[in-house]
Amino acid sequence: MGLTYFKRFRMEYDLGEELFERPETPPGYWLFSWDERLQEAHGQTKYESFRFELDANVFPCLGDADGCRRLMRDIVSREGFLPEATWLLGTQLPQQRRFEYCGTIQGIRDSRETGSVQNLGVTPTHRGLGLGRLLLWHALDGFRSAGLKRVTLEVTARNTRALGLYQRLGFRTVRTVYKAIDVAYA
């Protein structure tokens, strides 16, 4: 037994500047704005996106379907929950028989001027197509239309793909934090 420390970066995006260029939604993909009937789909897509990832060690609930469902319920019931910054992505590509959800992001207002991105996730088979960038753009646009000035998020330092994406889009690191996890779970 003992503690493992995960190094994480707190990053910030200044909404006072122009957003990065609005990405096109690729053919065969659809964005869904928040609707409470989509809460379950957000939770399930979160689970599909995180279950085999590093962050499921940092936050064990992300590696568990019920945990993701609970997390989604908690996010939605928070006073600062921001529907405008919460998006779900779905797809039905010609080679697929059925529609599926493949990406999720949620936003919270933390104070009058600051919001935070909760969990950005794209399911494994749909990565590298610009969908993470697309979800982030729509979330940031939602934070901006709600009158916020800046948006923060935290990313695990070893999550190079997410970190690189945030850096390229204009997020800057403002603090380094360490999250302690009992090795029984890590």
Ligand X SMILES: CC(C)(COP(=O)(O)OP(=O)(O)OC[C@H]1O[C@@H](n2cnc3c(N)ncnc32)[C@H](O)[C@@H]1OP(=O)(O)O)[C@@H](O)C(=O)NCCC(=O)NCCS
Q: Is 29 in the site for ligand X (CB under 6 A)?
A: no
* Candidate residues 31, 61, 93, 129; the one interacting with ligand X per rule CB under 6 A: 129
64 binds ligand X (CB under 6 A): no
DSSP states of the chain:
--EEEEEEEEEEEETTSPPSPPPPPPTTEEEEE--GGGHHHHHHHHHHHHTTSTHHHHSGGGGSHHHHHHHHHHHHHSTTB-GGG-EEEEE--TT-SS-EEEEEE-EEE-SSSEEEE---EE-GGGTTSSHHHHHHHHHHHHHHHTT-SEEEEEEETT-HHHHHHHHHHT-EEEEEEEEEEETTT-
Chosen residue from 63, 107, 115, 132 binding ligand X by CB under 6 A: 132
Q: Which residue among 26, 41, 53, 110 contacts ligand X (CB under 6 A)?
A: 53
Shortest Å distance, C-beta 40 to ligand X: 19
Q: Which of 12, 55, 84, 100 binds ligand X (CB under 6 A)?
A: 55
165 touches ligand X by CB under 6 A: yes
Which residue from 99, 128, 158, 183 is in contact with ligand X, where contact means CB under 6 A? 128
The residues binding ligand X (CB under 6 A) are: 49-50, 53, 55, 120-122, 127-133, 155, 159-162, 164-165, 168
